[in-house]
Structures are given as C-alpha cells and as structure tokens.
Amino acid sequence: MSNREKTLEKQIDALVGALTDPIIVYDPGWDVPQRLKGETQMARLAQLLKDEEGTATDMEGLAYLSNASLVVPMRSEWVNIYMQLFTRWMGDNTPEDLRRDEITDYEKGLLLEFKRWLRNTKVKARKERRRQERAREKAETATRAPEQLGLVV
C-alpha cells in the first residue's frame, strides 16, 4: 500500500470515527442528552477539518464530566473544568452563578491530559468494534462455506 493510500485510509477512518465513535461516559447507565450527542459529532467534524486530532473535543469532555457528576462527587478543580466546558457550550445562556470563563493553568493541564485519555479510549473502542465486526464477518463466511453444506466439489 502506498503512502498516499495509507493517508487516504487514515483520513477516511478519522471521518467515519468522527461520525460513529462512541461518546465515552463514566457510567453507561445514564444517557447523554441528545443535543449534546449531535453537537459532539459536529465538534468532532470541526476538529477534523482543523487537523486537531490529538485530543477529544470539549463536547466529549463535557459529556463525560456531566455523566460522572451524576454518579460520583468531583474535586473542586474538576468542577471548575466542568463548569468552564459547560460555559463554552451554553455561551451567553449560562446562568451567572454557574459561569466559569477561565480556569487555572493547573486545571488546563488536567483538561488536556483528560482529553488525550478520552481520545485514546475512544480510538481503542473503535478498534475493538472493528475487530469484533471482522470476527463476526469471518464466522458468517465460515458458516456459508460449501463444505458445511455438503457441496464440496
């Protein structure tokens, strides 16, 4: 496979991933709001167009932290990060008592590492899903083999 073909394959994989990758959450028992799901896909596509694929999007971070906040208490720095992501999402509609326009450099570092972890987890899930699909296709093909039907020539 040529470098050009590999590059094209990688770009197609990234595009399909932006549209179909799961949204990673702390507890899958809680649903991600539909509006956030749609905006997550749009944020992924925008990130892809900007060639900024090294981390998950802010929307993915917001979805994870929103979900986690329903299940476990968060330390203050994570609350600040969550509120800043929420403010970015809601913009001028953010209630004043929840608004967080800035976070500390330490919190920015935490957010960056968190978004890298989210992206890596999402990519692993995509690869595992593809592996399972290939295994299922292989099993389906094997069950259709002529020798299974007594049609060996």
Q: How far is CA 114 from CA 12, 50, 62, 92, in A?
A: 25, 20, 11, 26
pTM of the predicted model, to two decimals? 0.80
Residue with tokens 């960056």: 112
The residue whose two tokens read 């050009």 is 4
- Cα separation, 30 vs 24, whole angstroms: 12
Question: What average pLDDT score do residues 63-79 get?
Answer: 95
Mean pLDDT score of the chain: 89
Mean pLDDT over 64-84 rounds to 96
If DSSP codes are grouped into helix, strand and coil, which group holds residue 25?
coil
